[in-house]
Structure 1
């Protein structure tokens, strides 16, 4: 089986997620190609692809605009395949933030008019050392909602790697569209 991972990253956690997914797919004996949606000059090809995984972070309540444009422009090709989206957000790290994390994904689906076969709300990371004052205040007072978190070298990763592996295994076990 051949998979295509379409992704965009902002601070690097989504790329880390994509790398883990790519390793898992290869370890399970499948082929995989990566497409970075932020490369606006690259052409995307769906030939020979059985399934697609889409992965993008949420910043300022939405996924990257270029990622959404690519999804919308590729809607017809994506609808013909088995698809999964991984929406990476800090809100997904906390049970009281899951509803809001789902709203981010729902809004993207409304804007792109594309609904994947599977969805995964996955917690991201805090990289405080890369934030300016304004960003650090937003992270602390809005995203973390005042929660105190321990940072190691300015980073706190909330990603549930076991959940990610299980969800990818489930997606890989789904029969490709048109399979009998």
Structure 2
């Protein structure tokens, strides 16, 4: 199957997820076209039989270039099976999953789109790349007292095995 993976990344983790999806699906024999919205790579989905979308949530929203791409590709997306991977720290914790779903639902309303399937993917925390204010926001607002260990350091919450199974299931249904 020919699959387009359209993604946005801000700190690199969603790029890592998109690359994982590419590798996982290529290993299964699919032809993959990887397109990053921040680079202007996304112009058409011509030739794609299915689409996987992936974007992180920062400050309650997915990146503007990603949302712009969804609006521009609306008719093409509607004509194909689509899987949306919404990546956020909120998705890593049971107490945050409802809020993570709200971020995705709000984006769908803003962009006037729906997806065949969607997954809330736990993201990563990378405090080494944050300034003081960003660290405090992540600690106090995003994590809200979640115990993620004794030190505030880089941590990946993505369940890679579960993500691989979800990708395989989506392509099997598409």
TM score, norm. by length of structure 1: 0.93
Once the 2 structures are TM-superposed, how far is the Cα of residue 153 of structure 1 from its aligned partner? 9.1
Once the 2 structures are TM-superposed, how far is the Cα of residue 14 of structure 1 from its aligned partner? 0.3
Task: Decide whether the 8 Å contact of 1:35 with 1:44 is kept in 2.
Answer: no
Once the 2 structures are TM-superposed, how far is the Cα of residue 81 of structure 1 from its aligned partner? 0.4
Alignment CA distance shift 1:103-1:174 (3 Å): same
Give the Cα–Cα distance (whole angstroms) in 2 for the partners of residues 73 and 152 of structure 1: 42
Partner of 1:178: none
**Structure 1 portions without partners, runs of 5+:** 176-180
Task: Decide whether the 8 Å contact of 1:88 with 1:121 is kept in 2.
Answer: yes
TM score, norm. by length of structure 2: 0.96
Secondary structure of the residue aligned to 2:38 is: coil
What CA deviation, in whole Å up to 9, does each residue of 1:37-78 have, x standing for no partner? 0013x4522221100000000000000011001101110000
Secondary structure of the residue aligned to 2:6 is: strand
Partner of 1:144: 143
Partner of 1:27: 27
Superposition RMSD on alpha carbons, in Å? 1.4
1:120 maps to 2:119: yes
Give the Cα–Cα distance (whole angstroms) in 1 for the partners of residues 2 and 151 of structure 2: 37
Secondary structure of the residue aligned to 1:38 is: helix
Partner of 1:135: 134
Matched ranges for 1:67-146 at <5 A: 67-146=66-145
Greater CA drift, 90-99 or 144-153:
144-153
Secondary structure of the residue aligned to 2:98 is: helix
Once the 2 structures are TM-superposed, how far is the Cα of residue 151 of structure 1 from its aligned partner? 7.6
Once the 2 structures are TM-superposed, how far is the Cα of residue 143 of structure 1 from its aligned partner? 0.8
**Structure 2 portions without partners, runs of 5+:** none
Task: Decide whether the 8 Å contact of 2:42 with 2:69 is kept in 1.
Answer: no
